Chain A
Amino acid sequence: MELTFGILVDPLSALMLVIVTLIALLVHVFSLGYMNDEGETGLPRYYAGLGLFTASMLGFVVADNLLMAFMFFELVGLCSYLLIGFHFREPGPPSAAKKAFLVTRFGDYFFLVGVVAVFATFGTAQFAGPESFPALAEAGEVVWTPGGLALDTRFTIVGLLVLGGVVGKSAQFPLHTWLPDAMEGPTPVSALIHAATMVAAGVYLVARMYGFYALSPTALAVIAFVGGFTALFAATMGVVKDELKQVLAYSTISQYGYMMLALGAGGYVAAVFHLTTHAFFKALLFLGAGSVIIAMHHNEDMWDMGGLKDKLPVTYYTFLAGSLALAGIFPFAGFWSKDEVLYEALVHAPGEPLLFGGYLMGLLAVPVTAFYTFRMVFLTFHGEPRTETARDPESVRWNVKGPLTVLGALAVVTGVINMVPVQKVLGIEGIDLLHRWLDNEWSGIEGLSSHHYADIGPYSSQYLVGGEVGTVLAGAAVSLGLALAGLGLAWRLYGVPSPTEHTAKLGGIKDVLYNNYYLDELQVWLAYRTEDVAGVADTFDQGIVDGVVNGVSSVSLFGGSRVRRIQTGVVSQYAALLTLGLVALILVLGVTGGWFL
C-alpha cells in the first residue's frame, strides 16, 4: 500500500478550479471594500486566512486520492474556523467558530473511518486510473472484506461512512446547524466559504468518487432522500428569519440539498451544473448582502431597511439578478440548473420510493425558495425606508460594485453552458456544453465520465407524460409555475410600501421555524449526554497522556539540576575529569579488547 500525493486534473476538477479561483479573486477584491475601507483591524490575519483557505480548497480540488482529499478537507475546515472567529473579541463569533468546527468534525470522524475502510478494502485510495478504488470496486476486486460481507453491502457501508464528512461539510441534515451560526464571520468570508466553495467541497467529493457511489443503489437513495429533505427543511426555516444573512444561510443549505438530490438521483451533470450556477449566484447574493450591510452601518435586520432600491442601484439590480436565479425564474442561471436537477430526479424516480420522496420534497421547496428570496428582496430594497440609516445609507466604492457586476452578469447568463431542455425540445444539437465537457468530449480520463457513471449506475429513465419532450416541458412548467406562485405570494404580502410581519399567522409553527425546529437545543442536549465519556477521556488525557509527558520533563529537570553541579568553574577539576574519563576509556577498551589476558 502506498500513501502518495498527486494532482488530478480532469474536466470536473478543471471546472471547479475555475469556479474557486474566480470567486476567490472577486471576494478578495470585495474585501478591500468591506474590510479595508471600513477600517477593520487585524487585516493581515484576515487575508492570511483567505489565502490559506483558497490554497487548501485548490489542494482539495486537485487531490488525486482520498487521503490527500481528507487532509485538505480538514485544512478547509480549519480556515473556516479561523475566519468565522475573526472578530474574536465579541462573544458570538468564537462560539460560532467552535460550533462550526465541532459539528463538521463530527462528520469528518466518519469520513476518516471511511478513508481507512477504503484503504482496507481496496489497498488504494486513488480516484483515477485502472488501479483506482472506483475501478476496483466496479471489477469486484477487493483485498479484504470482513466476515464474508457481501460486496455491495460493504460498498454501501464505506460509501455512507465517507458521506458523513460530506453531510457535515455540505451542511446537510442533521449536521447543518453550524452554517447559520457561521454567518458571524465577515460577509466576504460567508460568500467565499459558506456559499460558494467550502460547502461545495462535500458535493464535489461525492462527484469526485461518483464511480464508487454509482455502484451502491442504497447509498444513492440515502443521498437523494437526505438532499431532498434538506432542501425543503432548510427552505421552511428561511421563511421566518429577520436577518439578511440568515435567510441566505438557509437558502445555501437548501440549495446544497438540491445538489445532493441530483447526485443521488444519478444526475451527475445536473449536480455539477447546479454547483456551478449556485456558486455564482450565491456568492453574488452574499456580496450584495455585504454591500447592503456596509450601507446600513452593519445592521443586518431586514425590518430596519426598505427602499434601498434607489440609493444602491448597482447592488439592487445585481442582487435582483441573483435572487431571480436563486428562485429559479426563467431564463436566469438557477432556472436551468434547478430544472435539470428536478428533471433527473423525476425521470429516475419511478420504482424508487426514497428517490421519489426526495423529488417531492425538492419540488415543494421550489415555491418556498421563491417566497423567502423575494420576501428578502422586497423587505430590503422596496417599500418605504423604515429607519434613518435606510433613508441615508452609506455609499459603496468600485471594489464593491465591480465584483457584484461580474457575478451579476454570470448569474444571468451561466445557464447557456447547459441548455439541455432547449436541445431536447427544439432539437438544436450541441448546446449541452457541460454535458459534453463532463463526458470527456474534448479530453478527460478513462472511467471518469458522466457516460461511464450512467452506465454503471442503477437507474433507468422513465418518462411519465408524453415521452421525453413532454416530461421536460411538464417538469419545467411545474417548477416555474411553483416558483412564480411563491414569488407572487411574496409580492402580495411584502411588496407594499409599509410591509408588516405576517409570520404571526403561522401561529405555533412560527416559533418552531424561528427556533430552527429546536435542533440546536437537541444537539446541545445530546452533547451533554456525553459528559461522562468526556470526563473519562479527560481523566485519561490529563492523567496518562499528559502525565507521561510531564513525567519525562520532571525527570529531565531534576536530573539536570543535579548533574549540573559537576560544572564547578574550576578548570583543574575539568582537567581531572578529562583524565579520569580517558583512563576509564582505556580500561574499558583494554578489558573488552583483551589486553590484560
Chain B
Amino acid sequence: MVPVEWYLLLAAGVFCIGLFGVLTRRNALYFLMSVELMMNAANINFVAFALYYGDLTGQVFSLFVIALAAAEVAIGIGIILVMYRNFGVTDVTVPTEMRW
C-alpha cells in the first residue's frame, strides 16, 4: 500500500499550485480554477486519511466538498458575469471601488 505521506505530499503540491494561481493570475476565471485545485487538494487529504484509518467519514466529507465546490462555481461564475457587465473586464485588479 502507498504510504499516507505520499498522498499528503501530492495534496500539498496541488494546493501550492492552486495558491500560486490565485496569487499570480489576474483573470477571475483562473481564480475559480485555482480555488478548485486547492479544494481538491483538501479532498485528497480526506480520502487519504479515510483509507489510512479505515474510516468512511473522510470519503463522505470529500463528497460534500465536491457538492459545495459545484455550488461555489455557480456563484463564482455569477459574480464574474456581474463584474464583466459592470467593468467590461475579467481582470480582478481593475475594480477597486471597495477600497478605503
Contacts and interface: CB of A to CB of B under 8 A. Distances in A.
Contacts of A572: 22-23, 26, 92-93
Q: Interface residues of A toward B: which range? A: 10 to 19
Main secondary structure of the interface of A (DSSP, over half): helix
A579 B96 contact: no
A564 interface: yes
A575 B23 contact: yes
B42 interface: no
Contacts of B98: 567, 569
A564 B23 CA distance: 22
B99 interface: yes
A552 interface: no
B92 A564 contact: no
Q: Interface residues of B toward A: which range? A: 10 to 19
B71 to A, nearest CB: 20
Contacts, number: 30
Interface in B44-100: 92-93, 95-100
Given A570-B92, A570-B93, A572-B92, A564 B22 contact: no
A572 B23 CA distance: 6
B19 interface: yes
A570 B96 contact: yes
Contact of A579 (B19, B92, B97): B19
A527 B100 CA distance: 53
Nearest to A573: B93
Contacts of A569: 95-100
B100 A567 contact: yes
A567 B92 contact: no
Nearest to A561: B100
Contacts of B23: 572, 575-576, 579
Contacts of A298: none
A567 B98 CA distance: 8
A477 to B, nearest CB: 89
Nearest to A571: B92
Interface in A549-567: 564-565, 567
Interface string B12-33: 0000000100110010000000
Contacts of B97: 569
B95 A575 contact: no
Contacts of A568: 96, 99-100
10 contacts: A565-B100, A567-B98, A569-B97, A569-B98, A569-B99, A569-B100, A570-B99, A572-B22, A575-B22, A579-B23
Given A569-B100, A571-B92, A572-B22, 4 more contacts: A567-B100, A568-B96, A575-B22, A575-B23
